[in-house]
């Protein structure tokens, strides 16, 4: 197994079990060196807490990038999660162009929406910019809501294979190369992940749990990236990430009133087992 060094770009929500505080431990636990570029520092995430602080680090991004260029630093993969502005998307595109190794894998989680709605603070200008970044990625990891915003197709909670194929076709037409499409449920009590790789469709179905937690998109994408870096196929990595995320949700359900995030830490032993 070759040594891998990756870069992840997203915010630090100091409290809330999402973005960098999830990506860093999960990808590191996969045995992959995880370098970070924090795009902002928030006291908490924005979904449910009130009065959070927000320190925008957009203006620091070019100088950090320039320093890495001077030092000859480059990465085997670049993975982006929650980004705070269209300017940040521009700066990420520059990172793709300047600090990626030749065979660098670019993974974009267009973390901006769920349950039919954009997260607080996002608008259609941001969605437009995110479309451009998705077209530059090797893998995009959207949920259905994000795919709908990216493609302009109406959001549905009840759908069939034809609807999912329509979304996939539209994502591919937009320039997405490979799609890891999360939270796809074709029948009651089940959900799963669709993997579209080089135009080939595959589906991993698993049980649908009663409860859901905030931040599972980040645990999922981080485990996917970690497993991919451990030389698993995209389908294998998508399956490992799904089984890990299920375990995160099960562990969280055992806790009292743990509403703000997924207790992914309790599922890390399972992730390591899944990677073996
Ligand atoms: O990816 C989820 C996420 C990350 N970072 C911040 C968020 C959220 C979701 O609400 O608010 C700051």
45-73 pLDDT tens trace: 999 999 999 999 999 999 999 999 999 99
- State the closest ligand 1 atom to the C-alpha of 119, by its place in the atom list counted from 1: 10
Which of 45, 81, 115, 215 to mutate to test ligand 1, by most ligand atoms within 8 A of the CB atom? 45
Burial status of residue 149 (CB atoms within 10 A of its CB: 0-12, 13-18, 19 or more): buried
- State the closest ligand 1 atom to the C-alpha of 84, by its place in the atom list counted from 1: 12
Residue-averaged pLDDT of the chain: 97
Ligand 1 in reach of 88 Cβ (< 6 A): no
- State the closest ligand 1 atom to the C-alpha of 44, by its place in the atom list counted from 1: 12
The DSSP call for residue 209 is P
- State the closest ligand 1 atom to the C-alpha of 13, by its place in the atom list counted from 1: 12
Which of 10, 11, 12, 214 to mutate to test ligand 1, by most ligand atoms within 8 A of the CB atom? 11
Which of 8, 10, 13, 21 to mutate to test ligand 1, by most ligand atoms within 8 A of the CB atom? 13
| pTM of the full structure | 0.98
For residue 166, the Cα-to-chain-centroid distance in whole angstroms is 22
Predicted pLDDT of residue 255: 96
Scored b (16 or more CB within 10 A) or e, 84-120 reads: bbbebbebbeebbeebbeeebbbbbbbbbbbeeebee
Which of 8, 10, 14, 16 to mutate to test ligand 1, by most ligand atoms within 8 A of the CB atom? 16
The percentage of the chain sitting over the pLDDT mark of 90, rounded to a whole number, equals 96
Ligand 1 in reach of 218 Cβ (< 6 A): yes
Is 90 exceeded by the pLDDT of residue 131? yes
Residue 22 to residue 16: CA distance in whole angstroms: 9
Q: How far is the CA of 71 from the centre of ligand 1 (A)?
A: 31
Q: pLDDT band for position 113 (50/70/90)?
A: very high
Which tokens hold the place of 185?
């449920």
Predicted pLDDT of residue 106: 98
Ligand 1 in reach of 118 Cβ (< 6 A): no
Residue 263 to residue 236: CA distance in whole angstroms: 23
Is 90 exceeded by the pLDDT of residue 212? no
Reported as a single tens digit per residue, the pLDDT across 5-25 is 999 999 999 999 999 999 999
What average pLDDT score do residues 130-154 get? 98
Q: pLDDT band for position 203 (50/70/90)?
A: very high
Reported as a single tens digit per residue, the pLDDT across 165-187 is 999 999 999 999 999 999 999 99
Reported as a single tens digit per residue, the pLDDT across 238-268 is 999 999 999 999 999 999 999 999 999 999 9
* Number of helical (H) and strand (E) elements in the chain, helices listed first: 9, 11
Q: pLDDT band for position 211 (50/70/90)?
A: confident
Predicted pLDDT of residue 6: 98
Question: 3-state class of 116 per DSSP?
Answer: coil
Ligand 1 in reach of 47 Cβ (< 6 A): yes
């Amino acid at each position: 197994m070759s040594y891998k060094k990756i870069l992840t770009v997203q915010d630090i929500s100091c409290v809330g079990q999402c973005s960098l505080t999830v990506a860093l431990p999960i990808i590191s636990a996969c045995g992959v060196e995880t370098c970070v570029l924090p795009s902002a520092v928030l006291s908490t995430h924005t979904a449910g807490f009130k009065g959070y602080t927000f320190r925008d680090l957009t203006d620091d991004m070019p100088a950090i990038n320039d320093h890495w260029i001077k030092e000859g630093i480059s990465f085997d993969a670049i993975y982006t999660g929650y980004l705070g502005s269209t300017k940040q998307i521009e700066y990420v595109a520059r990172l793709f162009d300047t600090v990626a190794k030749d065979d660098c894998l670019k993974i974009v989680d267009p973390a901006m929406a769920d349950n039919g709605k954009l997260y607080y603070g996002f608008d259609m200008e941001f969605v437009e910019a995110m479309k451009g970044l998705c077209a530059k990625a090797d893998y995009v990891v959207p949920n259905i809501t994000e795919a709908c915003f990216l493609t302009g197709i109406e959001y549905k909670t009840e759908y069939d294979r034809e609807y999912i194929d329509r979304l996939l076709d539209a994502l591919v037409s937009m320039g997405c190369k490979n799609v890891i499409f999360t939270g796809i449920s074709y029948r009651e009590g089940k959900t799963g992940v669709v993997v579209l790789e080089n135009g080939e469709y595959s589906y991993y179905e698993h049980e649908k749990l009663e409860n859901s937690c905030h931040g599972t998109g980040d645990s999922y994408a981080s485990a996917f990236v970690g497993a991919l870096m451990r030389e698993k196929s995209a389908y294998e990595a998508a399956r490992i990430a799904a089984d890990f995320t299920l375990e995160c949700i099960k562990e969280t359900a055992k806790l009292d009133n743990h509403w703000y995030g997924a207790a992914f830490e309790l599922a890390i032993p399972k992730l390591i087992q899944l990677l073996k």
